[in-house]
Chain A
Amino acid sequence: MGKFLLLRMLCAVGGLFAVDGLVFRTGWYAGWMHPDSSTGHYERLIVHEREQAQAGGKRVLVLGDSRTGFLARIADERAAGRLRFGNAALGGTTPRCWYYLLRDMDPEANAYAAIVVPFGHYEDEEAVDDLRNRTGDLQFLAERLRLADAPAFVRSVSSLQAHVQAIRALAWKGFLYSRDVQDLLRSPSRRAQTIETYRNWAEWVYGYQGEARSLEGLEVDYARRKITFPPGLDERARADLMQALLWEPFQPKGWMYEYRKEWIGKIADRYRGTGTKLIFMRLPRGPVPRPAEWGRAKTSAAREIAGRVGAVMAPEAFFEELEQPRLFVDARHLNAAGMTRFSELIADLVLEQGL
């Protein structure tokens, strides 16, 4: 059915690959990327941490997502110069993103004295969304994934749709940048201004203090599945609390165990036998933690990995003092007071290791 057809189609697809590569794989476009995008934050973090590593001194990196309400400034004050903390807790990221972050941020695996890795639970409790198929990770990793990463990355997703999306994005990065390109074309001058505004991002993040409001007055009767909301809470916040606290326990399917074994395992293997100590910690579980007996997971990839590579596991109850409504701004995130205390405790935890 036409050898020239196949040839022409291959030429067109190959041409797309070449043009896409020139624009998006050479780093040229990175300079124009929206700084407030997932990729923008991720990239800025890598550049910033590389610069900090060159400044010398013993550095500690705290990984995490938005639930890791870490303030490096507070931890630095607590450490009083003995250690310097880096904050790599980026909202929306997952252990898969952390692995690639560390790979490119610390290529020699020697930039940090310790890396703190957070867990929601040490047991492999599962959420509704299967993290393996979270293709939103690609938005963070757009600049980082190379063609050589394709097999491992594609293998790490399980659904057909996620496979298709991953292959497409890894082959033609423009698919990942399309929204950003459209926004850039809408107003290049505004983009240039935004990029300029974000030049002071590092100082802004370092000086961030957190939100003052709290959930004081929140009470949860888990036996009756009833919540007494703090006064003045709007409908959306109430619905969010209901969803975050009262979901019915379900039997894990086992994907979280596999997922952690793969990606936390990769991080652990990367630092095995190096001078970097891995410290696992369980995050504060929420303003009013769900009953322990609601947990269903029997496995713990965290414990297995820690045992295998000699990582430190902070006591599960280490942050329990923070699990109170007055220290949370919503169902998942600490407020200013909570973040401050959380950061002090992290500094204490790391200092205890005698680094």
Chain B
Amino acid sequence: MLFHTWEFFFFFAIVLVLFYAGSAGARRWVLLLASYYFYGAWNPRFLPLLWSLTVVDYFAALWIVRYQGRRRKWALWMSIAANLGFLGFFKYSNFIAANVSWLLGVPQPAFDIVLPLGISFHTFQSISYVVDVYRGEQEVVRDPVDYALFIAFFPQLVAGPIVRAREFFVDYYHWKRPDAGQVQRGVFEMLSGLTKKMALADQFAVLADGYFANPSAHAGALAAWGGVCSFAMQIYFDFSGYTDIAIGAARVMGFHFPDNFRRPYFAGSITEFWRRWHMSLSRWLRDYLYITLGGNRGGVWRTYRNLMLTMLLGGLWHGASWNFVIWGGYHGLLLSVERALGITAGRWWRVPVTFVLVCVGWVFFRARTLGDAWFVLGEMMGASGGEWAVPLWLAALAGFGLLLPLRAVRERWMVAYGLVLLLILELFGVTDLTVPFVYFQF
């Protein structure tokens, strides 16, 4: 059930009616059952996996607060091992097998492992909860239904944002019926997300897919830059569109998710880019990986090492392939260089430079193979022309889309803003093919 389908909106309308019609006690059951239905609609076989991890982490947190010393630590590591074990098995088995086979020079065993939807997100959310409880930053949740809902809450279950327990439970335990302004904002966020996804991301997806399916068929620097910029736009509008729908849907029900994007392509440095791009993941990596590794407390070289490790693992989190590792390493390297040069935020001229650097990274992210990635990079640096595939109207639309979060304009001219979004959806929305959200594969 994709967020941009009629099925989702029927489902959401029914959930809203039941949610607001129900008593306080019934509401959490409505949300929990709806969330499991939502997840099961993709593939009911993975529901037991979600339930297993929920049970493991629920009890792990209880043990952490009940016991002291080694038992407490043991509960923490058991929880982390269970989460990373499941994640590793489903996500990285094929990758590990392929590399081991290559090293040993033996044929790769064929594993038929399907990646459970959203596993990368809900495992990270679970880990953050258990670690926060261990660190004493989060009170343990004793009601299993409350905890299960925190993990499975459908707006953020499959692709984030990665919500911290305290953010969720503040709204949950002190739930207030959202006022008209909040509902209005939520509805327009959903509309904005739909527009980003269907009219922008899916339009750019056609161009990016066309280019990356066979880069050698589109020779020339202009063609390569067109393909790469198309992907840059696709992934931003796709993921931020998804996030807008998730945040809007949660807001309509009285929950407030953290922002996940803040116009990242206007960042003046890579450091700033990561403060604006997939912010909930950046925050997670900082708090649970970078700081755990020692952060910047162990001297310059340790700081660089920690940065590199964090970004390499962050890259690997995105997907089980060397392309993602290189992408993560590339960003780690850029962050280290910026740190060494003392660059944090940029002047205006650094914005296009940062965008170009980000685009170079996207090549590894999107290319099917490393060979393709090097080829595309070679073409981008080349002097030959080729054909620029992005039509002017789509570039103009992207410009509008990149500026969408201008809140003042949006709130002052609500009706006009809604009308413009609807018009864009009507005339430019891709409705004849269903393009899955990019981040669903992670």
Which residues, 1 to 51 on A, are CB-close (under 8 Å) to B?
1-5, 8-9, 11-13, 15-16, 19-20
Shortest C-beta distance, B38 to chain A (Å), equals 20
- Tell me whether B213 is interfacial, beta carbon within 8 Å: no
* Chain B residues with CB under 8 A of A181: 427
A319 at the interface (CB under 8 A from B): no
- Alpha-carbon separation in the docked complex, A13 to B423 (Å): 9
Q: Which of A12, A181, A186 has the most CB of B within 10 A?
A: A12
Mask: chain B, 404-442; 1 = CB below 8 Å from A; 0 = not: 000000000011101100110011110100000000000
Main secondary structure of the interface of A (DSSP, over half): helix
Q: A174-B423, A174-B427, A178-B429 are in contact. Are A12 and B393 (CB under 8 A)?
A: no
Q: Using C-beta atoms within 8 Å of the partner chain, give the interface range for chain B.
A: 20 to 34
The docked-state distance in angstroms from the alpha carbon of A3 to that of B181 is: 10
- Please pick, from B184, B391, B428, the residue contacting A2 in the complex, using a CB distance under 8 A: B184
The 8 Å CB contact of B422, one of A3, A4, A16, is A16
With contact pairs A175-B431, A178-B428, A185-B393 given, residues A3 and B419 touching in the complex (Cβ less than 8 Å): no
Are the CB atoms of A2 and B415 closer together than 8 Å?
no
Instruction: Tell me the nearest residue of chain B to A11, going by C-beta.
Output: B415
When distances are taken between beta carbons in the complex, the residues of chain A under 8 Å from B416 are 15
Question: Quick check: B419 and A12 within 8 Å, CB to CB?
Answer: yes
User: A185 vs B390: C-alpha distance in the bound complex, in angstroms?
Assistant: 12
| A12:B418 contact, CB within 8 angstroms | yes
Does B208 sit within 8 A of A, measured CB to CB? Answer: no
Whole-angstrom distance between the alpha carbons of A4 and B180 in the complex?
8
Once bound together, how far apart are the Cα atoms of A182 and B426, in whole Å? 11
Is A164 on the interface with B (CB-CB < 8 A)?
A: yes
Cross-chain contact A186 with B415 (CB below 8 angstroms) = no
A1 / chain B contacts, CB cutoff of 8 Å: 20, 178, 180, 183
Contact indicator A8/B429 (Cβ below 8 Å): no
User: A172 at interface (Cβ–Cβ under 8 A)?
Assistant: yes
Among candidates B180, B183, B391, residue contacting A185 with C-beta atoms closer than 8 Å: B391
Nearest CB of chain A from residue B342's CB, rounded to whole Å: 45
A175 vs B430: C-alpha distance in the bound complex, in angstroms? Answer: 10
The one of B6, B422, B423 that contacts A164, using a Cβ cutoff of 8 Å:
B6
Complex Cα–Cα for A8 and B431 (A): 25
Query: Which bucket holds chain A's interface residue count?
Result: 20 to 34
The answer for the CA separation of A11 and B180 in the assembled complex, in Å, is 16
CB contact between B393 and one of A5, A8, A182 (< 8 Å): that residue: A182
Asked if B393 and A16 make an inter-chain contact with CB atoms under 8 angstroms apart, the answer reads no
Question: Using an 8 Å CB-CB cutoff, how does the interface string of A159-195 with B read, 1 for contact, 0 for none?
Answer: 0000010000000101101100110011000000000
Quick one: given A9-B418, A182-B428, are A16 and B423 in contact (CB under 8 Å)?
yes
- Nearest CB in chain A: distance from B432 CB, A: 8
Tell me how far the C-beta of A245 lies from the nearest C-beta in chain B, rounded to whole angstroms: 30
Query: In the complex where A164-B6, A174-B427, A185-B393 touch, is A12 in contact with B180 (Cβ < 8 A)?
Result: no
A172 to B419, CA, bound (A): 13
Knowing A3-B180, A8-B414 are in contact, say whether A186-B391 is a contact too (CB < 8 A). Answer: yes
**Residue of chain A at shortest CB distance from B391:** A186
What 0/1 pattern do residues 220 to 247 of B give for CB contact below 8 A with A?
0000000000000000000000000000
Chain B residue nearest to A164 (CB atoms) is: B6
- Measured between C-beta atoms, what is the minimum distance from A6 to chain B in Å? 9
Question: From B20, which residue of chain A is reached at the shortest CB distance?
Answer: A1
Please encode chain A, from 276 to 313, with 1 for each CB lying within 8 Å of some chain B CB and 0 for all others: 00000000000000000000000000000000000000
Q: A186 vs B419: C-alpha distance in the bound complex, in angstroms?
A: 23
A19 vs B428: C-alpha distance when bound (angstroms): 15
Q: Which of B359-380 contact A (CB under 8 A)?
A: none
Apart from A19-B419, A175-B429, what 19 extra A-B contacts exist at CB < 8 Å? A1-B20, A2-B183, A2-B184, A4-B180, A5-B187, A8-B418, A11-B415, A12-B418, A12-B419, A13-B422, A15-B422, A19-B423, A20-B423, A174-B423, A174-B427, A177-B427, A178-B428, A182-B391, A185-B391
- The contact sample of 11 A-B pairs, CB cut-off 8 A, is A5-B183, A9-B418, A11-B418, A11-B419, A16-B423, A19-B419, A172-B426, A174-B427, A178-B427, A181-B427, A182-B391
Question: Using a CB–CB distance below 8 Å, which chain A residues touch chain B?
Answer: 1-5, 8-9, 11-13, 15-16, 19-20, 164, 172, 174-175, 177-178, 181-182, 185-186
Q: Which 5 pairs from chain A and chain B are nearest by CB? A: A2-B180, A12-B418, A185-B393, A174-B426, A15-B419
